[in-house]
Structure 1
Amino acid sequence: MASTNSIRLRLMLVVGLALAPLALASIIQAVLNFRAYQRETDRILMQTALYAAYSEQNVFTRAEQLLRSIARRPDKTDTREKCYAELSDSLVGAMPIINLTRVDASGNIICMGAVSPTQPIAARLNWWNALRSSKTVVVGNQFQSKILKKSVLPMAMPVYNGDGSFAGAVSAAIDLDWLETAPQVTKLPEGALSLILDKNGNVFATNHPVPSGIAEAVIQNAKEAKRKVFTLNTGAGSRWRWVAEPIGISDKYVAFGIPEPRLLGTFRGYLLADVLLTILIIGATVAAIWLGTEWLVIRWTIYLKRVAVAYGRNHFTLSLDDLRAAPDEFKLLGREMKRMAIAIQDRDRNLSKALERQFSMTREIHHRVKNNLQIVSSLIAIYAQNIANPVARSAFRQIIVRVDALTLIQRLIEKSESDPMLDMQVLFAQLADQLRTVAHDAGQIFSLQISISHRWLSPDTATPIVLFAVEAISFDMFLPRAEGRLRDVRLSFASDPGGCQLIIEERDNGSLPTPGSLSARILRSLSEQLRGRYADEPLPHGGTKLTLFVPSEGAPSQAKTVNEDYNVFTIGRTRQL
């Protein structure tokens, strides 16, 4: 999964923000196109209504004139032969009047102008009763003529004899297909509804079935909104846009309506046409960014990452041959990484040489310090052999013990190679051997038991601890003792919460430094140097116990402030005096 901070997603965000105004403009354009289309549809509706109203007015006027001219001369249509000749001649050039029918006073058809029936056809028309009491043209309801095989609208004019008696009627069949094929009507969307109705809402002709209540609503709105487009809700919940125009000075109207879902469908078409293109552009751009970043950026960054990991593992010999097909910028970056790797390799080589020289010098320094301490110890021992005073000789022997302890520390540091830390278990074990040897040379019966835990300390901490132990144990080692008297010493060193603790127990009284003595002052000075806490206490069955607590590095100091100066060098000068 790509990180939200990757260059790929950032490029997509930038491109998306750049194309967002275009998408917004496309949506606005689609809305404007929809409104323009709606206005155009309303205009077409209005023009169609006006055209149809004028056309139907012309048709009705021409049909009425034709019927009146035939009705004035009933003698020319009283027989079938004369009737057919008269009506067929009258139909010439009378479109959209496609048939004329002469009916006698009994309602029997005398003849038809469009056809020549072999036998008289009797029929009762649905407008016959209204016609017998009328002096003007009567318009019937739309019906499907079986003879003409067309949808027609009938118009009839009563015929009277010269004495005023009713002589029948002459009717005209108007072809309603012209309404569907008229140039203005064909501009309407598919599914448009066209009506011819009177002011009472009676429908005379329609191209589709009319939902209940629509005709009355159309007439009511047509009277209120003259030459305006209005909307109506049908019983099914759909909305229609309507326009209605009166046909001349008659009480009839022609109305056209289209469902608004047609407009919304057109709007969706505009929206898809305008917005979908933008979406496709954005999608193609995102795909191009995804593939382009993968091909031109991501794969080379992954490759350089592997190179960096290899360099981090000291594989500096890795070649960059795979970068030959990379863009120039990544080639440059790869060359710079190679130069950096070479520089790091040279620096590591120089650093290793410097560390080797430093390590050699450090070992040489520790070796020389150890040798010098051994020389000093030997010189002090030679000098002490020429001193007859037992007390002075004892002091020199104590100095030798301290110098030998420092020599031991330097020897262990020299063996530790690059790690200057000292193992306290090894250090105290070798120190115990040295002390036993010194006690044996001094003629003492000496027992030293040690219990040391594994603990690694730096020389700065280990040296004062060892000097503390040497000072405490060697305090009474060179003084004359009773024949056969055993000196029993126990030494333990272990970790303690917050640091480490050294405990020295002497079973004989007076064998360890007593408070106020010079050795006690040295011990306290060493404990202060370690920021530790030094204490001595008697054992329950006789003897003395010395305790040194050394805190860990960074822990608060445990040393107590005293007025006396316990600096080791000051104590040494005092001892010389």
Structure 2
Amino acid sequence: MPHNLLPARMRSLTFRVVAFLSLALLPIGLIAVKQTDEVTKETQRRTELTLLAVTEQAATVEQAVIQQAFGAARTLGAFIQLFNQDAEACQRHLQSFLDASDRFSFVGFLPKDGVMTCSSHGRTVDFSDFPGFADSVANPAPMVNVNQDAPLSGTSVIIISLPHYDDAGNFDGYISVSVPHYRLDIDSEEAPNDLVGLITFNDEGEVITATSDMGDVADLLPRGTELKYLFSGGRQAFSGKSVDEENRVFAVTPIVEDTVYALGIWSARAPSATGFDRALHPSVFPILMWIACLIVAMFAIHRLVLRHVTRLRRRMRAFARTRSFRPQPETGRVPLELAEMGQDFDQMAEAILRDEAELENSLHEKNVLLKEVHHRVKNNLQLISSIMNMEMRKNPDPATKKVLRRLQDRVRGLATIHRTLYQADSLSQVDAGVLINDIVDQIRVKGQVAGTKVKVDRTVDSVVLLPDQAVPLALLASEAVTNLLKHLGAPEGSPPEVIVELTESDDGEVTLRIENTLGQKTVIDDAAESTGLGAQLMNAFARQLGGRITTAEEDECYRLKLTFVKTPFDEEPVDFPADAQGDAEGQKAVTVASEPRNTETPGPARPSHA
């Protein structure tokens, strides 16, 4: 993308420093991300192992009781096989076993037909219609269940069931051992302080034990996850919200293989859970490092460069607007390079002010000289006009007087132009409207001298032109007015009327329109017969302007219209063609531009107007 098409902020020194520094820190950032990621994973792994070990240690009582019950069931299996056919002997043996143990509340053998006849309870109970019995017989496996209102034990118990097989290896029933919950020696005070709760559950998701009240267990479980699915991923630790909307860390580990599992529920802010799921994202460290480097770099750049450059920029802008400045004293806080730049600016500003002062003096002198030239030319032309006036009074020949009067009008027109030029504020721009108004005023003056009342209707805009266009326009208008006065007529019942318009369009086209009425001849200008010089001069001036003249004669009206385009520059003058001159004097006085594109130089509509 080209440099000038970039947004201003992207071209600033601040943005570029940030961009290059970010690019320089990118490899370091990638290494930091990788290392931080490895450290985070290792920390999480160690935290997970710690949580699993602490959870398994916290469930040692439940684990020992259940394993003890399975061991008792295996021991009773040998006696069951001996006394299975003698129900009374089996019951006596089981009762004596129960009396010898203070851990269990019931032991018995449940055959696969569901009718229990051998138990410590001493009576026959039919379990064949109990929910899930048929499935357990069809798929024999060690089981641990809970019955909060056991009919035989009369209390809430943990039921450990171990499949029993005969000598042929055929399944023939379950040996059941019941452990009352109240006989579990679970001391919550010995548990870690940051352990919110400990739950054991079987592979069906049934809660077996809990350190809290069984009714409050549901609020501590992970939200949106059933217990029976927690161990599908093996030993694991994870974080999440509990049902009571608290942030927790959960650890799941087996305490009896494929049968009973322990779920440790830890506070997310607990020391044991520190580093688990709370470690910063690997990208945070390099981002913080990047921000810190940028802050240090930007502070250094601002202190060493930006503030001094900003101060120098303000001085430059103030100098550009007001052309005034105060040299900045050199201090030790400014870097040497910037201090030298400030000194160079001071020297440059002094040189510019000195050169501009010399140019202004030179320009002022030039303007004064040019105005003095225009003033003296105007005075000389007025002197020539006075001399011609003296000659007209002395010369008795009327034809000679008329020729001299026409020449005198042209001289006065040139004097008017030079007067306007030296009175103008700017020599490079001339208000053509002022020149046209001065020329039109001659109509009133001559009408009053001749005793003829002439109605003049003028619409003259302020059209600012270069002198190269203003001068030929004024000379053309002067010739047109002279021609107008020579042929001005009064319609029947109306005074003679003259219409003069000078306008400029939005696209820079300038239009001069001069109209006069025809009719009864008025004696304002009794010039000699037409020689055609006036028409030749007007056409020459029109070519010099790069415009065109059109004439039209309608009912009692004669119209002359000039259009040209205002140019903001001076065109190089060339010698006017000799065949367009009336005499040698005109050839010296008139210069024209290169041939305009749409110049129209028709002959006058009425030859008498020339």
Please state which band the TM-score falls in when normalised by the shorter chain: 0.5 to 0.7
C-alpha distance 275-364 of structure 1, shift in aligned 2 (>3 A): same
Cα separation, 2, equivalents of 1:575 and 1:202 = 126
1:455 to 446, 458, 462: 462
- Residue 559 of structure 2 corresponds to which residue in structure 1? 546
**Which of 398, 403, 407 is the equivalent residue of 2:406?**
398
| 2:536 is equivalent to residue 533 of structure 1 | no
Q: Distance in 2 between matches of 1:34 and 1:439?
A: 109
CA distance in 2, matches of 1:309, 1:521: 56
Gaps of 5+ in 2: 1-7, 76-94, 109-118, 123-145, 147-157, 159-182, 488-493, 569-575, 588-610
1: CA distance between counterparts of 2:564 and 2:209? 114
Q: CA deviation at 1:341?
A: 1.2
1:330 aligns with one of 327, 338, 342:
338
Match of 1:411 in 2: 419
Q: CA separation in 2, counterparts of 1:326 and 1:345?
A: 26
Q: Note the 1:154-165 alignment, pairs <5 A.
A: none
Distance in 1, matches of 2:461 and 2:209, equals 115
Measure, in 1, the Cα distance between the counterparts of 2:436 and 2:230. 117
Partner of 1:267: 276
Match of 2:105 among 126, 129, 151: 126
- Per-residue CA deviation, residues 361-383 of structure 1 (Å, 9 max, x unaligned), is 31233234334434554565566
Q: Which residue of 2 aligns with 1:81?
A: none
Tell me what 2:349 maps to. Answer: 341
Ranges in structure 1 where 5+ consecutive residues have no aligned partner = 68-103, 113-122, 134-140, 142-152, 154-173, 480-485, 556-564
Question: Over residues 225-260 of structure 1, what are the superposed CA-to-partner deviations in whole Å (9 max), with x where a residue is unaligned?
Answer: 9xx73789999699965444669xxxx988555469
CA-CA distance at 1:332 after TM superposition? 2.8
Structure 1 CA distance, aligned partners of 2:477 and 2:324? 52
Matched, 1:571 2:579: no
Q: Deviations over 1:450-493 (max 9, x none)?
A: 444352443433433443344344459799xxxxxx99563533
Q: CA deviation at 1:345?
A: 0.2
The two structures have a TM-score, normalised by structure 2, of 0.54
Output the amino acid matched with 2:583: G
Matches within 5 A, 1:10-49: 10-16=16-22, 28-29=34-35, 31-37=37-43, 39-40=45-46, 45=52
Is the Cα contact below 8 Å between 1:424 and 1:456 reproduced in 2?
yes
The Cα of 1:360 is off from its aligned counterpart by 2.5
Within 5 Å, give how 1:212-251 maps onto structure 2. Answer: 229=235, 242-244=252-254
Count of aligned pairs between the two proteins: 458
Is the Cα contact below 8 Å between 1:487 and 1:508 reproduced in 2? no
Secondary structure of 1:537's match? Answer: strand
Matches within 5 A, 1:8-407: 8-16=14-22, 28-29=34-35, 31-37=37-43, 39-40=45-46, 45=52, 126-127=105-106, 190=195, 193=198, 229=235, 242-244=252-254, 257-258=263-264, 266-271=275-280, 277-288=285-296, 291-292=299-300, 294-314=302-322, 316-321=324-329, 325-374=333-382, 376-377=384-385, 389-407=397-415
Counterpart contact for 2:194–2:266, Cα < 8 Å: no
Amino acid at match of 1:535: T
Equivalence map 1:425-464=2 (5 Å) = 426-428=434-436, 430-431=438-439, 444-445=450-451, 447-452=453-458, 453-458=460-465, 459-464=467-472
Q: Is the 8 A contact 2:434 2:462 kept in 1?
A: no
- C-alpha displacement at 1:449, in angstroms? 5.0
Q: Aligned to 1:548, what secondary structure does the other structure show?
A: strand
**Greater alpha carbon shift after TM alignment, 237-246 vs 414-423:** 237-246
Code of the aligned partner of 2:345 = M
| Aligned partner of residue 553 in structure 2, secondary structure | strand
Instruction: Give deviations 1:414-457, integer Å, cap 9, x for gaps.
Output: 222434544455435544666777789xx954555544435244
Structure 2 residue matching 1:455: 3-state secondary structure: coil
Change (3 A) 1:321 1:38: closer
Q: Aligned partners of 1:390, 1:568: CA distance in 2, in Å?
A: 30
In structure 2, the CA distance between the partners of 1:439 and 1:387, relative to structure 1 (3 Å rule), is farther
Paired residue secondary structure (1:412): helix
Q: Which amino acid aligns with 1:346?
A: R
Kindly state the Cα deviation for residue 295 of structure 1 after the two structures are TM-superposed: 4.3
What is the identity, as a one-letter code, of the residue corresponding to 1:335? Q
Q: Which stretch shifts more, 309-318 or 487-496? A: 487-496
Give the SS at the match of 1:505: strand
Deviation of residue 301 (structure 1)? 4.0
Alpha-carbon spacing, 1:361–1:284, altered in 2? closer, same or farther (3 Å):
same
SS in 2 for 1:269: coil
2:503 to 495, 499, 502: 495
Counterpart position of 2:92: none
Cα 1:448–1:422 shift into 2, 3 Å = farther
The answer to whether the Cα contact below 8 Å between 2:267 and 2:273 also exists between their aligned partners in 1 is yes
Q: Distance in 2 between matches of 1:495 and 1:432?
A: 15
Distance 1:339 1:445 in 2: 71
State how far apart, in whole Å, the 1-side matches of 2:579 and 2:386 are: 23
Distance in 2 between residues matched to 1:338 and 1:405, nearest whole Å: 53
Letter in 1 for 2:349: A
| Whole-angstrom distance in 2 between the partners of 1:234 and 1:344 | 75
Deviations 1:379-416 (A, max 9, x none): 65566677665334422331222122112211221222
Q: Distance in 1 between matches of 2:520 and 2:564?
A: 29
Contact 1:230 1:241 (8 Å CA) reproduced: yes
Q: Distance in 1 between matches of 2:28 and 2:417?
A: 82
Deviation digits for residues 520-542 of structure 1 (CA, Å, limit 9, x no counterpart):
444444444441333142553xx
Task: Give distance in 1, aligned partners of 2:330 and 2:253.
Answer: 75
> 1:366·1:414 contact (CA, 8 Å) conserved in 2?
yes
Between the aligned partners of 1:478 and 1:533, the Cα distance in structure 2 is 19
CA RMSD of aligned residues (A): 6.3
| SS state at 2:421 partner | helix
Structure showing greater Rg: 1
CA contact (8 A) 1:310 1:318 kept: no
